[in-house]
């Protein structure tokens, strides 16, 4: 089974009403990611934070895991926007579906909804100089709670799924589209540290 097919299966199992224990990923014996209950490599954002506090570190290194998560998200550039979309079976993504999918592909289970992803990991200040690839950027419309999420990819850019589909945008007052997002940017969450 291909990597995308395995991830699609896991994403389908992550839909509401499915048991959490069947919606994790872990390394299979063949070196590919497979679905399985209780696999030690499949952790929630809370479990990852606990591991950081206890000094347990992924042997591959945090920077490599961040790059892998960003690379996975970028594989879906141009994929159409779909409300509630998780990318299952080649379908479109909504904003939180893209972020969840990219992290899940690397063994980290994030909540499904943007408002819940805005509480995953730990908060990081909104200082563009402190952002790391893989950070979750949170956005709000008109003073409401979080309504959108994206993933920082480096060099002032972030990937997200909006009405125009999966694409990269720039956080900059000099970019018309980026200026719109910059005005709505409300926070940063770091899942990988």
Distance CA 87, CA 12 (A): 9
For the chain, how big is the Rg over CA atoms in Å?
16
Helix or strand holding residue 35 (H, E): strand 33-35
Catalytic residue among 18, 106, 142, 148: 148
Q: pLDDT tens digits, the chain, 193 residues: what are they?
A: 344 444 444 444 343 333 332 333 333 333 333 333 333 344 555 565 566 566 655 545 899 999 999 999 999 999 999 999 999 999 999 999 999 999 999 999 999 999 999 999 999 999 999 999 999 999 998 777 999 999 999 999 999 999 999 999 999 999 988 899 999 999 999 999 8
Q: Is 95 a catalytic residue?
A: yes
Distance CA 182, CA 112 (A): 24
pTM of the model: 0.72
For the chain, how far is it from start to end, CA to CA, in angstroms?
31
Domains and CATH numbers, the chain: 3-190 (3.90.1720.10)
Catalytic residue among 18, 95, 106, 142: 95
């Amino acid at each position: 089974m291909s990597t995308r097919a395995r991830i699609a299966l896991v994403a389908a199992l992550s839909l509401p009403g499915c048991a959490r224990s069947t919606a994790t990923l872990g390394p299979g014996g063949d070196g590919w990611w497979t679905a399985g209950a209780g696999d030690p490599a499949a952790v929630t954002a809370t479990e990852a934070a606990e591991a950081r506090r206890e000094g347990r570190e992924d042997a591959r290194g945090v920077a490599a895991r961040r790059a892998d998560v960003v690379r996975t998200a970028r594989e879906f550039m141009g994929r159409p926007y779909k409300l509630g979309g998780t990318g299952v079976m080649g379908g479109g993504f909504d904003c939180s579906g893209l972020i969840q999918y990219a992290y899940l592909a690397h063994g980290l289970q994030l909540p499904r909804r943007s408002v819940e992803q805005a509480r995953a990991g730990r908060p990081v200040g909104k200082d563009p100089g402190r952002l790391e690839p893989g950070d979750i950027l949170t956005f709000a419309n008109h003073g409401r709670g979080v309504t959108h999420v994206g993933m920082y990819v480096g060099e002032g850019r972030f990937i997200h799924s909006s009405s125009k589909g999966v694409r990269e945008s720039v956080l900059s007052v000099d970019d018309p589209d980026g200026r719109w997002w910059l005005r709505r940017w409300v926070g940063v969450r770091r899942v990988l540290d």
